[in-house]
Amino acid sequence: MSVMVSVPTALEGNTGMMLAIIEKQDEEYGCHTDNSVQFIILMLLKTGMDAGVLYLCCRKLYTNFLSMSNLSIFLADVIMLFSMAVVLSLKAEYSHFSLCFILAFFSATYAALPLPTMCLLLLDYCLEDTCSGKQSALGKCLRNLTMTLLLWTVVVIYSIGSVTPELMELEYNTGSKAVVCEIYESRAVNYFTVGLFSALILALLPCWQMIPQWISEANRISEARDKIQEKQQSDRILTSAETKSFVADPTIPQPPLWLSLTLGFAVFWIPYLTVSVACQLFGFGVPPYITVNLLWVQCTNSVIVGVMFWIQSKTLGPYNRLPEDVCSWHVYWHLSKGTHVQKLAVFDPTKKKGNTHICV
């Protein structure tokens, strides 16, 4: 049975709200269901997923706002999970009301996060680009910490002022009754995922026949780049076959840069966007404390980094100072522009002095 439903008609047209079914009583069959534990299990799964994303994508927690905001969302997950576990373990008389307060407060808090998070991510990259090399590591850490604290202070104050937790009892036509709690819905995440998914489909659908060849070519370029970097790090000489493997295949048409970068983004993020859009199409009510997760933050970051990479590539090519991202922007730049001649310094053990250079 679903523990979350979106019922705008029951809320007199308030389409920004959802109903969390905490308890249900079916008098006809004498069945009683308490969904309190299911909320904890759902939150436990989300916390575990965020922990995995944090470990894989955010190794340097203090270098940028993205990593620090990811850490703060994970800590918020832990706090919410701990609060729910404490409330249910006490088994107090008003445990359902306490659980309703936790769900309502955190849903309002998470629902308020997306827009300011996107703005601060963009601001952080702009500051990093304009102040590159002028700020110490400690200064960057303090700046990121200040931005993160400011973000959470604003959304928490907003949530405290707007949340009015209230348990309601619904009676169905079948005679069964349900104790429900009114919680917020994150429109920003819903609009973002649907809009982004639609934009990807519209951009890639006209050239769908070429997509397998482009992906295969991008994988080949990526493998060639990795081999060249390994040889450079090990001070080995690059053979002519290895250097030629990095050159783009002339038989495959090169896509425009914007299309190539869009494809690079879609290769990684289309599964996440497909699942998110499917949940909305099939009417699955997913509250903000689930939808606002580290996968969404990383996807949003990829959009911002991809746009900035496209803008800067007009003057810098693939050589920019943008932070590392899960998408292989440099590979898909070469897929579109081909490989130009550059000098790679490679140590030649046959000579006593200096390095040889090979053109690629």
The span from the CA of 177 to the CA of 311, in Å, is 56
Q: pTM of the entire structure?
A: 0.82
Q: Do 255 and 266 form a contact (C-beta atoms < 8 A)? A: no
Q: How confident is the model at residue 3 (pLDDT cuts 50, 70, 90)?
A: low
Write the CA distances from 277 to 142, 189, 283, integer angstroms. Answer: 37, 10, 10
The span from the CA of 202 to the CA of 253, in Å, is 20
The span from the CA of 2 to the CA of 18, in Å, is 13
> Cα–Cα–Cα angle for 12, 15, 17, nearest 5°?
95
Q: Do 182 and 104 form a contact (C-beta atoms < 8 A)? A: yes
Q: Is the pLDDT of residue 205 over 70?
A: yes
Q: Is the pLDDT of residue 302 over 60?
A: yes
- Which tens digit of pLDDT belongs to each residue from 278-289? 988 887 778 999
Average pLDDT, the chain: 80
CA atoms 186, 258, 54, 319: torsion sign: negative
Q: How confident is the model at residue 360 (pLDDT cuts 50, 70, 90)?
A: very low
Q: Is the pLDDT of residue 41 over 80?
A: yes
Write the CA distances from 57 to 123, 297, 326, integer angstroms. Answer: 20, 11, 8
The residues facing 168 across adjacent strands are: 180
Which of 26-40, 212-226, 261-275 has the largest mean confidence? 261-275
- What count of Cα atoms within 13 Å lies in the side-chain half-sphere of residue 287? 27
Least confident of 210-214, 307-311, 353-357: 353-357
Over residues 179-190, the mean pLDDT reads 86
Q: Is the pLDDT of residue 77 over 70?
A: yes
The span from the CA of 146 to the CA of 158, in Å, is 18
